[in-house]
Structures are given as structure tokens and as C-alpha cells.
């Protein structure tokens, strides 16, 4: 079984969420761990770093979708440098993170996107 606390640690250590958001992501990590756990080729892969990153990507993406902010942007200014990030860019970055993490973990997972059907001639 994949440990959701390990997934939370990854998200926190990468600095992908604020402290307040990090406290609320636990249920999303549990669900993502269950999703990936059901696709593992072997239970031995449950503590693999690629698998944990895939869980983190799914959890982060789902969390940001559900917890959309009412503010259109947040910004930070230090001297002449201003950093602005809106919610849409956070979602786009989460999609990239999730897709790259799932691609890295693909050799440890069963493929659920491929369907083979017989064709009558």
C-alpha cells in the first residue's frame, strides 16, 4: 500500500503549496494513492520514488481543481522584480507535473488507456 504521508512530504518539500493548502491536501493524497495502488504491476513498487511522484501529481492536480481560488492572481514584489501567478497557470503547471510524473512511473503501472477489441471480417 502506498503511504499518503510520503506523498504529502513530497508535495511539501517541493514547495508546491502554501502551508495552509498543505494541511488540506491529505484526502486528495489518499485518493491518488488508492488510484495508483490499484494499477501497480507489483506491490513491491509501492515505495518507489516515481510512484510517489505520480501520486503527488494526481493529488496536486485534483486539489487545485477542487479548491479554485476566488482571487484571480497573487503577486510578490521585491525591488524591481514582481512575480505574479494566477490560478490558471497553477492548474497548467499541475497538469504538466502530473503528466511527467505519470510518464516516469509508467513502467511500474498497468496500462488502463489501451483497449483491444476483436474485429469481425
In 1-121, beta strands by DSSP E: 73-78, 81-86
State residue 37's pLDDT score: 96
For residue 72, the 8-state DSSP code is: S
Cα–Cα distance for residue pair 52/103, rounded to 1 Å:
13
Cα–Cα distance for residue pair 106/37, rounded to 1 Å:
13
pTM of structure: 0.80
Mean pLDDT, the chain, integer: 87
State residue 87's pLDDT score: 77
Give the three cell numbers for residue 93.
503547471
State residue 76's pLDDT score: 65
Residues 67-119 have pLDDT tens digits of 865 444 566 677 878 766 677 888 899 999 999 999 999 999 998 766 667 77
State residue 75's pLDDT score: 66
Q: Are 7 and 55 in contact (CB under 8 A)?
A: yes
Cα–Cα distance for residue pair 32/45, rounded to 1 Å:
15
Amino acid at each position: 500500500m502506498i503511504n499518503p504521508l510520503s506523498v504529502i512530504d513530497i508535495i511539501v518539500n517541493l514547495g508546491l503549496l502554501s502551508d495552509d493548502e498543505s494541511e488540506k491536501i491529505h484526502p486528495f493524497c489518499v485518493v491518488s494513492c488508492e488510484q495508483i495502488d490499484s494499477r501497480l504491476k507489483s506491490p513491491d513498487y509501492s515505495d518507489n520514488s516515481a510512484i510517489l511522484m505520480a501520486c503527488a501529481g494526481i493529488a496536486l492536480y485534483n486539489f487545485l481543481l477542487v479548491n479554485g481560488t476566488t482571487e484571480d492572481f497573487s503577486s510578490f514584489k521585491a525591488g524591481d522584480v514582481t512575480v505574479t501567478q494566477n490560478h490558471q497557470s497553477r492548474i497548467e503547471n499541475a497538469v504538466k507535473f502530473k503528466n511527467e510524473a505519470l510518464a516516469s512511473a509508467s513502467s511500474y503501472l498497468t496500462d488502463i488507456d489501451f483497449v483491444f477489441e476483436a474485429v469481425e471480417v
